[in-house]
């Protein structure tokens, strides 16, 4: 295990409840938000107590940027979407996490934000497995 990686790390209960683990990247756990209205991924850096990007070491900041870009490019190729939305807000879930969301003109809520729009539509288990296989292949 890399120094500091996962040691003392606990995933925020809300992230765990709202998303499904897909795979481990170098720094981050890659998760799928359980809402099939949008292809919506979340990267969670495996560092305890980190709330802000500037709380991370410069090396971890660079790695998070690299992994976020890699995931965004793969999601764009996978979905053929119009736009990738990337953001780290943290107003409700303070633990640092980065949203990467594929948006297409005409999707639910376009062009507004995905947060707070309508009622979540959970994936079927088989669809989560299929999504995981597809994104892994795209990465």
3-class DSSP state of 52: coil
pTM for this entry: 0.93
Percent of the chain's residues with pLDDT above 70: 95
More confident residue, 117 or 33: 33
pLDDT band at 93 (very low <50, low <70, confident <90, very high): very high
Give the pLDDT confidence score for residue 115 in this predicted structure. 87
**What are 67-80's pLDDT values in tens digits?**
999 999 999 999 99
**pLDDT (mean) for 97-112:** 95
Boundaries of every domain in the chain: 13-138
More confident residue, 80 or 117: 80
Is residue 6 scored above 80 in pLDDT?
no
Is residue 3 scored above 70 in pLDDT?
no
Q: For domain 13-138, which CATH number applies: 3.30.428.10, 3.40.50.10800, 3.40.50.720, 3.90.1820.10?
A: 3.30.428.10
75-83 CB contacts, 8 Å cutoff, 24+ apart: 75/39, 75/41, 75/100, 75/102, 75/135, 75/138, 76/102, 77/138, 78/39, 78/102, 78/134, 78/135, 78/138, 79/39, 79/104, 81/39
Q: Across-strand partners of 138? A: none
Is residue 86 scored above 50 in pLDDT?
yes
């Amino acid at each position: 295990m890399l120094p500091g990686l996962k040691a003392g790390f606990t995933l925020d209960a809300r992230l765990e409840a709202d998303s499904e683990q897909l795979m481990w990247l170098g720094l981050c756990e890659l998760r799928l938000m359980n809402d099939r209205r949008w292809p919506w991924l979340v990267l969670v850096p495996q560092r305890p107590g980190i709330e802000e990007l500037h709380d991370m070491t410069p090396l971890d900041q660079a790695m998070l940027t690299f992994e976020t870009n890699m995931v965004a490019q793969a999601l764009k190729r996978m979905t053929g979407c119009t736009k990738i939305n990337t953001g780290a807000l943290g107003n409700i879930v303070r633990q640092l996490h980065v949203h990467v969301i594929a948006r297409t003109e005409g999707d639910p809520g376009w062009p507004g934000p995905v947060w707070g729009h309508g009622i979540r539509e959970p994936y079927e288990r088989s669809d989560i497995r299929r999504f995981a296989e597809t994104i892994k292949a795209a990465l």
